[in-house]
Structure 1
Amino acid sequence: MDIGAKRAPSGPEAWRITFDATTPVELLNDVHTELLDLYLEDRDSGKDVLFEDATAPYEAYKALLARGWSHSVEINGTQTFRSPDGLGAVQHRYANMGTHKPTWTAWAGSPGDRLWSASFSIGTHASLAAALTASLVSTEPVQRTVKDVPLPSRQQLYLATATQPTAPSSAVPPPAAAARGRTR
């Protein structure tokens, strides 16, 4: 799935986000929610909010650092953040160096066997990358059936029993048993 933005309908793309088919739906939802917020702000303000990013790149990776992701910086102008279990990563290209490589790339899986990936081109709002990274580290439970979880990643899951909402404490007691007598 691709999301792109153009300043003019027939003009070149200003930026693009690409998700592969197996990207978790929660990540897609969170990025789309942020995109809708940007669109509404752009529409209501009369400014080019979708094309002029005032969000600092730090906003996209502070959630990762807060959750214990490791951080390494390379001399080629990239920095990589890895999840504590080593099965997820986010790479940020902070120095353009004239390449057409994505500014942000995120993926999950072992190094040679990615389960999903997402990439954000140069010019994509850092707030959209921040929405993805916040979703990555979210501890909010998600419901999946066994068939929805790829076989290689099933060992990495934390399973929890679904909880039922508790009845309010001011519940009305059931009516008293009916008096004995004839029944129809």
Structure 2
Amino acid sequence: MSTDPFTNLDPGQQVKVLPRHLAGPGAVDLTTVWPFPEDWSVHQADDGAALATSPCLRLVASLAPDGDSPRKGKWTVTDNRAPFGPAAWQVTFDATTPVELLHDFHSELVDLYLEDRQSGQGRLLEDNTPPQEAYMQLLARGWSHEIKTDGTQFFRDPESLGVVRHRYAITGADSPTWSASGGYPSEPYWRARFSYGTPTTLAAAFTASLVSTEPVSRAVKDVPFHTRRHLYVAATTPAQQTPASSPLPVPPALPGPNRTR
């Protein structure tokens, strides 16, 4: 059995760890999670709840914290077909989702929004990106692939602590087209759900961040306890002279989902 790589580290020490989906949420800051342009309207209440809207009033992003919930609340993004009209699609993340995954998803959302505003192509509503863009990068990182006869397929990391589910045969709009989770499947740390109609480009940005080989920074005390043996420490703060574990080789980074920032 692998050992806990954090055993000899101070709880307050900063470390860089992988894989991302087991690292914990990290330090949550609205400006990090929401890299929205200056012309977006952003409001935050004293209790931490937040709301952001695009100038066209079609895109609405929100944070609804819930300190009594194990997953601490929800991040939500909704694209309405018209201002205050019916939702075309919606994506939700538990508040315990790693902040880097949230940032990369919202960065892609901003890119699509700006492209649509300049070109009028409407990719936020009609995205022709094939689903392979979202799952091929999982397979390239060694995730397993299981196809079910009910129209769904699953992708799992080598230890089955990260799961992505895709509905490849759409029979209705009630279930999410894409969903993901991190942690033990019986009680994941976080979950994400992408409703029917969500642009595949956004799902691809999320999965690219999910399997990124760029380590994330965390305080030791903030790394989830139950899956610590499944992480490795890629770097520690300079004050730590002897790493608690030898860094594992990191494979070269894959290109993103055919997009540049």
Q: Under TM normalisation by the shorter chain, which class is it?
A: 0.7 to 0.9
User: Is residue 158 of structure 2 the alignment partner of residue 45 of structure 1?
Assistant: no
Which runs of 5 or more residues in structure 1 are unaligned? Answer: 165-184
Give CA deviations for 1:99-126 in whole Å, capped at 9, x if unaligned.
5000000001112110111010000011
TM-score with structure 2 length normalisation? Answer: 0.61
Structure 1 residue aligned with 2:148: 74
TM-superposed CA distance for 1:160, in Å, is 2.6
Structure 1 residue aligned with 2:224: 150
Which runs of 5 or more residues in structure 2 are unaligned? Answer: 1-74, 239-261
> Who wins on radius of gyration, i.e. which is larger?
1
RMSD: 1.3
1:58 to 123, 126, 132: 132
| Poorly superposed stretches of 4+, deviation over 6 Å | none
Aligned-residue sequence identity (percent) comes to: 60
Query: In proportion to residue count, which structure has more helix?
Result: 1
Count of matched residue pairs: 164
Give CA deviations for 1:46-84 in whole Å, capped at 9, x if unaligned.
221210111101100010010111001101000000001
Partners of 1:116 and 1:9 lie apart in 2 by 30
* Larger RCO: 1 or 2 (CA < 8 Å, sep 6+): 2
Matches within 5 A, 1:166-177: none
Query: Partner letter of residue 68 of structure 1?
Result: G
Partners of 1:81 and 1:157 lie apart in 2 by 19
Matches within 5 A, 1:1-184: 1-162=75-236
Give CA deviations for 1:23-49 in whole Å, capped at 9, x if unaligned.
000100110111011000000002212
Is the CA contact 2:108–2:205 (under 8 Å) kept in the aligned structure 1? yes
TM-score with structure 1 length normalisation? Answer: 0.85
